[in-house]
Amino acid sequence: MSNFDSLSCHSISFEMQQNFLCSFCHHLLVDPKVITCGHRYCSLCLKKIIKNDESTICIVDNCSQIIMNDGIYKDFGIENDLKRLTDIICNNKSNGCSWQGNYMSYKEHLQICTFQRIQCEYCSITFTNQVLYEQHYRICPKALVSCPLKKFGCDTQIRREDLEDHILSSSVEHLQILADICSSFQNQSITTNLQPLSIHTIPTSISENLDVKSLQNELIKQTQMIEQ
């Protein structure tokens, strides 16, 4: 079931109905998010689209908008309109579900509806409710994940089950990345120490010390892996 089949309210205008539908699943929006171009997605659908990429293209035809994390907003206006809906039919009616109710109950119902058929896009396992799917999604061995050193410069994306092999096989490169950044911090620290200390430099120094601590921890982890 898709499009307007989940709405049994005939008093809603066609334009409003369009605003209520997710651009990805074409069902009624759940926890609606709006992006810069104005297209709306369910929160979970947007996560599926973006996955581990920092940016991707809006999937609506002829829309070339790049979806950036800082360009995603919770759509409070549409959510307030959705909360006024009182006669919603479950998306899974075609699978045998007879549930019907208001929007807030609808969101809760979808979490436990046993008539759902949700397939993991990574491993193709099918789940019968949203809760089971979300639990699996966070640990799926086939899912693409970022390298733990992404924030330090390693942009590799790899299946979760292969992540340990990547860390071991790339230890030398990772150590070089960390060493270069540590060296950069040391040079900055020397330059900072040569300058008069002011109240404005204290927060920066604290932040740098925290970053160095994080780098040191990563360096220790990488070294231990090599020694093993």
The amino acid at 145: V
Q: What tens digit of pLDDT does each residue of 27-70 get?
A: 899 999 999 999 999 998 888 888 755 568 899 988 989 888 88
Are 133 and 151 in a shared domain?
no
Are 206 and 98 in a shared domain?
no
- Rounded to 5 degrees, φ, ψ at 124 are 70, 10
Prediction pTM value = 0.56
Are 110 and 8 in a shared domain?
yes
Are 66 and 34 in a shared domain?
yes
Q: Half-sphere exposure of 177 toward its Cβ, with a 13 Å CA cutoff?
A: 18
CATH code at position 109: 3.30.40.10
Are 133 and 162 in a shared domain?
no
Looking at the structure of the chain, the number of domains it has is: 2
Are 38 and 87 in a shared domain?
yes
Rounded mean pLDDT of 108-127? 88
Are 173 and 84 in a shared domain?
no
Comparing 4-18, 55-69, 184-198, the range with the smallest average pLDDT is 4-18
Are 211 and 133 in a shared domain?
no
Domain range enclosing 129 = 3-137
Last residue within a domain, chosen from 87, 107, 137: 137
Rounded mean pLDDT of 185-204? 54
Are 36 and 107 in a shared domain?
yes
Rounded mean pLDDT of 14-19? 67
Last residue within a domain, chosen from 119, 137, 155: 137
Are 133 and 27 in a shared domain?
yes
CA 50 – CA 56 distance, rounded (Å): 6
Last residue within a domain, chosen from 109, 137, 165: 137
